[in-house]
Chain A
């Protein structure tokens, strides 16, 4: 199994280490519920060094990326990022990711750990096909780069002293809290260049820090030192999953895969059909025109019962109940105290309050379709 630069830190903190997509990562330190609630009420610190970082540079970088990603990069001023997706020719999702414009010709893509080889191979193949010799430089820096996420309503109270500046690139800020949501800026830590962005995967206010692997542990320790008095706790993959499920953020391999389009996953907002040609556009334009036959819905269990979990079958209610899909993500919500989750179902079920039946160990448990997000968080 691969280990991030924070492996020793996880051991020191008593992290329960598990295998996750080939990585040895902490699922929790104290308990998933404890860490989840810390993020919602104070702050949590996550190691996300397993994720991928790809630099794309050159005068044709914008044109190239706008042809392989669904969202419109032309909207981005330097120091701004956007959530976006990379699709294949059938409109199926290869990955969901964040794309930052760092300088006029400099981009940073933050990609899922499980998709690094796929994404890099795809990008390189598209580069050869779409703009041969156009001077676009692609660099997969994932191995050498670490990252961490600090999330929660109290983060803004303690993050600034960690990065006293100066800020030398991206958004023009003096302090991290000067960043607006989805903005990023470059600064230094221990003499090395780091990028700080205001984003996250929890629904709370927070930051992600991308830095060379050599300084990530020092940043982690400094944030813990500054944040502990405000209630900051280290948080593992278990809490990361319950937090994002509550706010209905998709996870690649669950809500997104190569046979699901962004429109079927309810992510049409991030698909700029009018920006010009991009891979998958014809299929997506057709889906937009005709409507999608299946849609991602969120649901809550109707009463006290066992939690819904990925792959549990879902049946329509009524006497002629038919199997209509399966749970893609599901858990007992630490914030709401009920079972909840998401599933891709035939479009006619995508109406709030529509009853569903989730099959749990051979018994049907009642659930109701609900609007997204299932939990309304504190984030600005």
Chain B
């Protein structure tokens, strides 16, 4: 049974967003890490990069596959989580905490309403 915190927003492509003012922290959901299983490598996005909603931002690799991670919202990459570069397993063990991947300064905060809430995301993953 996947963990879907109620205080987060979700993209259909299985990324989560935690908002603090106009800064969004982004990672992949518990459902996503469970599907991938053992994450062996994370390719972090470039600092300072301007992204649009839906742009491929990062790559999370398991033993078997490389998965593109998409930015749920538009903005500038202001911080990346070096900890997951050193210890990719954090994405599996702490997908909503230590396994965060990047932080984004939002350029279009109104895009938030396009994301799913916890209940809608639960419906999507058929939980």
Contact of B41 with A306 in the complex, beta carbons under 8 Å: yes
B66 and A309 form a contact (CB under 8 A): yes
Question: Is A306 a contact of B63 with CB atoms below 8 Å?
Answer: no
Task: Number of A interface residues at 8 Å Cβ cutoff, please give it.
Answer: 16
Contact B64–A32 (Cβ < 8 Å) = yes
Chain A residues whose CB sits within 8 angstroms of the CB of B94 once the complex forms: none
- B38 and A306 form a contact (CB under 8 A): no
Q: 1/0 contact trace for B17-39 toward A, CB 8 Å?
A: 00000000000000000000110
Q: Does A348 contact B (CB under 8 A)?
A: no
In the complex, A33 has a CB within 8 A of chain B: yes
Q: Sorted from nearest, which 10 A-B pairs have the closest CB atoms? A: A332-B40, A31-B37, A33-B38, A32-B63, A306-B41, A31-B38, A238-B64, A332-B63, A306-B61, A307-B61
User: A242 contacts B43, CB within 8 Å?
Assistant: no
Nearest-Cβ distance from residue B25 to partner chain A, whole angstroms? 23
Provide the bound-state CA to CA distance between A32 and B66, in Å.
15
14 contacting pairs across A/B (C-beta < 8 A)? A27-B64, A28-B37, A31-B37, A31-B38, A32-B63, A33-B38, A305-B41, A306-B43, A307-B41, A307-B63, A332-B40, A332-B41, A332-B61, A361-B66
**How far in angstroms is the closest Cβ of chain B from A235?**
13
In contact, B41 and A331 (Cβ under 8 angstroms): no
Q: Secondary structure at chain A's binding surface: helix, strand, loop or mixed?
A: mixed
Is A325 part of the binding interface, using a Cβ–Cβ cutoff of 8 Å?
Answer: no
Chain B: interface size category: 10 to 19
A245 to B63, CA, bound (A): 12
Q: Which residues of A contact B59 (CB under 8 A)?
A: 306, 361
Residues of chain A from 265 to 294 with CB closer than 8 A to chain B in the complex: none
The answer to whether the Cβ of A58 comes within 8 Å of any Cβ in the partner chain is no
User: Which residues A25-78 have CB closer than 8 A to chain B?
Assistant: 27-28, 31-34
Residues of A within 8 A of B63 (CB): 32-33, 238, 242, 307, 331-332, 334
The docked-state distance in angstroms from the alpha carbon of A361 to that of B62 is 15
Which residue on A lies nearest to B64, using beta carbons? Answer: A238
- B37/A307 in contact, CB under 8 A: no
